Amino acid sequence: MSVAFWTVTKTIKGITRLLCRIDDEPLESVPAEGPFILVCTHINFLEVPVMFTHLQPRPLTGFAKSETWDNPWLALLFNLWGAIPLQRGEADTQALRKGLQALEQGMILAITPEGTRSNDGRLKRGQPGVTLLALRSGVPLLPLVYFGQETLGNNLRKLRRTVFHIKVGQPFYLTAPHGLATHSVRQALTDEIMYQLAALLPPEYRGFYSDLSAASSQHLRFINCGADRYPGINLKPHFT
């Protein structure tokens, strides 16, 4: 990585720690190597700089809405960090191919299945795109949530630091059912993934997935292993 990369990354990490009391101890359970999909919640702009800077030196990338590159400063930052532009509201196969390539290179690929910020921290219904990447790549998924940063604006006005909570769940593989081509099946798989996020959150943040009794894990194969790496990863072919 370049001097510019480390200078910018360390500076932004310092700023986030100045603004927030970051409970980053759970990040020690994130594997140090090996490709996997980091499935995250999405509250506001703060989680991207926090997660990217605090997971270094792990190789990490993720999707960002293509409109981000309309801002020249954000474009410079996201290019420096190797983010993948994503056209929202359509099947962006080019972005998905880049995501698969990143996984093939052994990187962490961060995805926010909700697709947009919640702002209040309450889960919205997940979008099915994550299921295609999980099944085509064959890599594990690791659920990760954060909460507390929705109070950032109010805390800044009161000159208070924001408590930024992080929780990491149990990794799992997604197994393919019959009829994957149908939207309803992909949505059902996405809901199984989203319930894993909901289970990590306090009840007031679970939103659409508040009823944990409705959760299913029929197509999730959980992994019991150490934090250093995941065994048995077998990448499948890219999109054609």
Model pLDDT for residues 111-152, shown as the tens digit of each residue: 999 988 888 889 999 998 899 899 999 999 999 999 999 999
pLDDT in tens, 32-78: 889 999 999 999 889 999 999 999 999 999 998 899 999 999 999 99
- 90 or 73, higher pLDDT: 73
Q: Residue 211 domain-assigned?
A: yes
CATH of the domain at 149: 3.40.1130
Q: Residue 165 domain-assigned?
A: yes
Q: Residue 26 domain-assigned?
A: yes
Q: Residue 90 domain-assigned?
A: yes
Q: Residue 91 domain-assigned?
A: yes
- Report the share of the chain in percent with pLDDT over 70: 91
**Which residue segment(s) compose the domain that 150 sits in?**
3-222
Q: Is the bond leading into 128 cis (omega within 30 degrees of zero)? A: no
Q: pTM of this prediction?
A: 0.90
- Report the share of the chain in percent with pLDDT over 90: 75
For the chain, how many structural domains are there in total?
A: 1
Q: Residue 227 domain-assigned?
A: no
Distances (CA, A) of 13 to 44, 47, 168: 17, 11, 20
pLDDT for 229: 47
pLDDT band at 178 (very low <50, low <70, confident <90, very high): confident
Query: Identity (one letter) of the amino acid at 39?
Result: V
Q: Residue 229 domain-assigned?
A: no
- Contact between 150 and 205 (Cβ < 8 Å): no
Q: Residue 73 domain-assigned?
A: yes
**Tokens 């989203």, residue located:** 194
pLDDT for 181: 65
pLDDT for 6 beyond 50: yes
**Tokens 């390539």, residue located:** 101
Residue 165 falls in which region: left (phi positive, over 0), alpha (psi -120 to 50) or beta: beta
